[in-house]
Chain A
Amino acid sequence: MSPIRTEGSRNKTRIPSAAPPSSPALEWLWKYLSDVRHPHFLDCGAVSPSTVRVLVKRRAKIYVADVISLLQRGDPAVWKTEGKKLVFNEEEFLRRLPRIPLASLTVICCWHLLDLIPRESRTHLAGSLFGLLEPGGVFFCILREPYLAAGVDTHWWFENHNTLGMGGAGQRNFPYPAVTNREVENLIAGASAKTFLTRSGRREVLILKGK
C-alpha cells in the first residue's frame, strides 16, 4: 500500500481509499519540532487549504510561493534558452519567493523541486534555500527513485499532520536523472540527511541544517 495518499481535495477525480498510512518523514518532523512554539514554514508548491489548516493548527507562520508550477510548466521566466539548451534561471526563480529574512525558516517544503531542475543547478539552489533556514532547520523534499519515470506534474500537500496528499495526473516524464542518496548527502556541506523509503517509488528526505 502506498504511504502517500493519492486522493485529495485538489484532485477532482478522487480515488477512494482506506485510511491512508502515515508518512514516516512527517511523523519524525513533528516530533523534532515538538518544542518549537511558532515554526516558520515555506511551502514551495501551490497554496493548499489542507496544508494551511494543518500548519495553522500547529501555530506556524506560513510562506507560500508556487515556484514549483513555474518549473512544471516550463515557464520562460525561469528557463533561459542558450542555443538549443534550456538553462535554469536560478536568480529569477529565487526572486519569485516572498520576502523571507535569512536564517528565519524552520522548515522548507520543497516537495519534488530537486527532481525538476538540472543536476548542475541542484547544489547551488539548495544552498540558496538553505540560507533561509535557521540553524537546526529542516529542508523537506520528496525524491523519486530512478525507476519512477513519470510524475513531473504531481503536486503535494499535507493532508493532515501525519499524511501527505498527492494530486495531478503524474504522467509527464522527469527530464533529469533521479537524485541519488550520495548527491543528497553532498548537497549541503555540514548538513545531515534522513531518508525514509516508501513503497510508492519515492523517498521522503529531511535535510537538517547544522546548529
Chain B
Amino acid sequence: MWWEKKPQSEFPKPGPTIAARPQIAKVEKPMPETIRRESMATTASSVQAVIGRSIILKGELSANEDLLIEGQFEGAVNLQDHCLTVGTNGKVKAEINARQVVILGSVNGNVSAREKIEVRRSGNVIGDLTAASVSIEEGAYFKGSIDILREGKGEEPRIVAAASAFDNE
C-alpha cells in the first residue's frame, strides 16, 4: 500500500553529517570555599589564609600573611605586617594587632593597626581602636574609643590651631 512505510535501511545513507556537540566535563564537586579564596588570592599575588565559618578557635594567633576570619576566635591576633579581615560571619573576641584591619563581622576587644581600621556597615565593634586612620561606615555599631596614631607621637606635638586644622574642609 502507498501509505505503508518503506523499510528503513539499518545504516544511514552517506551524506552531510552534523558534528556532535562537544561534551562539557561535569564538575562532580564544587571547589571548597576556603581553597577557592586562597587560589584567587594567590593569583593576585597575595595569599590570604581563612578561618572558615565552622571553625572555633581559642588562643594566640600570629601569622605572616593576610587572614580572613569567618568563624569564631577568642584570644589574641598578631599580624604585624598583614591585613586581618573579620568577615560578615566572623566573631572575634580578642586583642588585635595588625597592619590593617577590616571589620564586617563582630569584634569584642581592642584593635590596633599601624595603617588603617575600617568598620564596614555590617560591623559591630566593642573596644578601643588605635590606628593611623580609622573609618566607620554608616550603620555600623561601635562602642569604645578611637585614637589616631600620629607620626612621632612621642615627640612634642605640633601646635595646630583649630581654624587651620579645618582649612581644607
Contacts and interface: CB of A to CB of B under 8 A. Distances in A.
Given A10-B138, A49-B136, A34 B163 contact: yes
Q: Which of B137, B143, B160, B165 has the most CB of A within 10 A?
A: B143
B159 A37 contact: yes
B102 interface: no
B146 A59 contact: no
A92 interface: no
Interface stretch (A61-69, A78-86, A178-186): A61-69
Contacts of A59: 148, 150, 157, 160, 165
Interface in A21-51: 30-31, 33-38, 46-49
A63 B157 CA distance: 21
Nearest to A98: B144
Interface residues of B, number: 26
B134 interface: yes
A58 B157 contact: no
Given A9-B138, A49-B136, A52-B136, A62 B145 contact: yes
A161 B165 CA distance: 10
A46 B140 CA distance: 9
B145 A64 contact: yes
Nearest to B147: A61
A73 interface: no
A161 B166 contact: yes
Main secondary structure of the interface of A (DSSP, over half): loop
Interface residues of A, number: 28
Interface in B124-150: 128, 134-138, 140-148, 150
Contact of B166 (A38, A46, A58, A65): A58
A61 B138 contact: no
A47 B142 CA distance: 6
B20 interface: no
Given A31-B162, A38-B157, A63-B145, A57 B136 contact: no
A58 B143 contact: no
B146 A61 contact: yes
Nearest to A67: B143
Contact of A30 (B136, B147, B163): B163
B75 to A, nearest CB: 21
A52 B136 CA distance: 8
23 contacts: A31-B162, A31-B163, A34-B163, A35-B159, A37-B158, A37-B159, A47-B142, A48-B138, A49-B135, A49-B138, A52-B135, A52-B136, A52-B146, A57-B165, A59-B148, A59-B150, A61-B146, A62-B147, A66-B141, A98-B128, A160-B166, A160-B169, A161-B166
The 5 closest A-B pairs by CB, nearest first: A47-B142, A30-B162, A62-B146, A34-B162, A161-B166
Interface of B: 128, 134-138, 140-148, 150, 157-163, 165-166, 169
Given A34-B163, A56-B148, A64-B144, 12 more contacts: A10-B138, A31-B163, A35-B161, A47-B136, A47-B141, A52-B146, A62-B147, A64-B145, A65-B143, A66-B143, A160-B166, A161-B169
